[in-house]
Chain A
């Protein structure tokens, strides 16, 4: 066996570490030498214009897309995510909320949460699974996302905003180490947006979270470190005020 590799401190102390990640689709570079370093317990907002590579980055982290080059390391550099598939990555503790809310329309709201709940994922376990103690946990999650009164409704009957919350609830149920939240407030009213911001900040107290969002007001409300993506790489990083004042960021956004 080779001598143990000396990882830089940035790797061994980060929950998620991306280095030099490049993804091309038919010659178009969706991600171009992207590097990102996320500490344990951190909440990070990622912004960027359309086509900046935000969703592709999420796809790479969750195993949907394999990078052409680059490293994607999880949990202090101990796990190489590029070697795992979606289900394995989810079981490692990375949860994802999609841009378009995707819940299981034909299941009740509590069943949606039940399916997301941390626990056995194998066929055998679930064939002979019996409910014990899950009801309480599901109830807690449903009260957090404000859907407790609707638990037996089919998820397909929910409004757009409610579906977004249900999906966030499903993320909480998974209890992942890292949550990837793609545009949680798209299509929400102002009131819903503010509630969602509060909800996410609550979650961020004991989880590591990446939020991708277009809505600047929402990002400002989160009050966390912001990474600006542009053409597949990091353009700027810092507080919302810092990046808003950054000349290149303004150029990229306003120059379009």
Chain B
């Protein structure tokens, strides 16, 4: 039943998106691995790695869109969940290095040797096992989001105040992770990875596989998000976004819905970060930088807030533009271009790039705003025709004056 729930959710546009992802997941690695590099059809390993990164960003944008686009939670700290997932993966990859590090210690990563640490901190335990790391990739961002959300939403922190404290959250984490004694490699972060699940991280095959997995993760993330927003709970989320206190007066515990969607979104962001790290080969505290999180908001806005697919496309589009921009002589102007893009999209494309396409849902009944409501209601409620001209009541709140009139219908 749950499978059906997932599969019936996407609309036509959703299926196209999923089909494209599936095609990319198969064709791109194939063109990279099996087509000789002399052929014009060959996709270089650099390109595979680059687009794999874009796909991780797309999943991050999708996760933010779930919280922001559907529930109005403008998180300016979503990069924190991405980075935490990335660190969890990084810790696993560090433990896989084993004695191959510079200091050749069988357990301790190089940076700990460098700091003269004698034993592994307790929170590094278990990360040599992939299943444990996989659980942590979901659990660490999830639990942080749950606890943070629980307090923030229960105290009814909303709007710009919420945005500011999410920004403070990621900033505080950045400062923490920059410290050497925090135990995550300080400002160098975690790098020099060797193996993932026994495969060489650097090898072409592993890179191609990571690309495919990123595409699959994005597709899966989309299916989950889509199932949530299409469910009745998703309708409640939109209701919360548009009229929070009204939703509360209908008996919905708004804070529960917000905490749920925020936590789910953080878990998805964590997965995105975890897939990102082996593809770029490093995770360091700059991933927590507030500017990164703000950039994610721009991706979502550019693609189209509250569309899921738009968020993913926005992330790919903006990052592709960023790559093109920053390899040429225009590099110093990228941030100006990004800022201008955000302003222009906000002004001229409030529904993002995806808003340029016609809206998919058929509305069924033509939307005339000036329908003749009154007669319809009257016939439905079965009341007699209304006597015109009883307009005296326009001067309200005057019982004295009203009492002078004859009592009308009873």
- Could you tell me which A residues sit within 8 Å of B by CB distance? 47, 49, 62, 64, 86-88, 90-91, 95-96, 98, 102-108, 111, 114-116, 121-123, 126-129, 143-154, 157-159, 161-162, 165, 170, 174, 189-195, 197-199, 202, 214-218, 220-221, 223, 228, 240-241, 243-245, 249-250, 253-254
Contact = CB atoms under 8 A, between A and B. Distances in A.
Nearest to B370: A159
B381 A154 contact: no
Contact of B399 (A144, A202, A240): A240
**Interface size, B (range):** 35 or more
Contact of B233 (A86, A123, A198, A250): A123
Contacts of A153: 363, 365, 367
A77 B405 CA distance: 40
A216 B257 CA distance: 41
A197 to B, nearest CB: 8
A154 B388 contact: no
A244 B239 contact: no
A152 B363 contact: yes
Contacts, number: 201
Contacts of A98: 246
A47 B30 CA distance: 76
14 contacts: A47-B399, A105-B243, A114-B235, A121-B252, A127-B228, A143-B380, A149-B376, A159-B371, A161-B373, A190-B386, A220-B407, A244-B403, A253-B397, A254-B398
Contact of B388 (A102, A146, A152, A190): A190
A116 B232 CA distance: 11
A163 to B, nearest CB: 10
Given A149-B376, A198-B381, A250-B399, 7 more contacts: A121-B251, A127-B233, A128-B5, A148-B380, A215-B393, A240-B399, A254-B400
B2 interface: yes
Contacts of A144: 380-381
A100 B379 CA distance: 25
Contact of A104 (B242, B376, B389): B242
A87 B254 contact: yes
Contacts of A198: 381, 383
A96 B243 CA distance: 14
B231 A90 contact: no
B242 A106 contact: yes
Contacts of A147: 373, 376-377
B399 A150 contact: no
B399 A214 contact: no
Interface string B226-245: 00100111011011011101
Given A49-B397, A123-B256, A243-B399, A194 B233 contact: no
A102 B250 CA distance: 12
Contacts of A104: 238-239, 242-243, 246
Contacts of B374: 161, 189, 191-192, 195
The 10 closest A-B pairs by CB, nearest first: A146-B377, A217-B393, A90-B251, A244-B403, A216-B402, A152-B364, A126-B233, A244-B399, A146-B380, A129-B232
A128 B380 contact: no
Nearest to B259: A123
Contacts of A228: 399
A114 B371 contact: no
Contacts of B369: 157-159
B396 interface: yes
Contact of B238 (A49, A86, A107, A162): A107
B67 to A, nearest CB: 14
B392 interface: yes
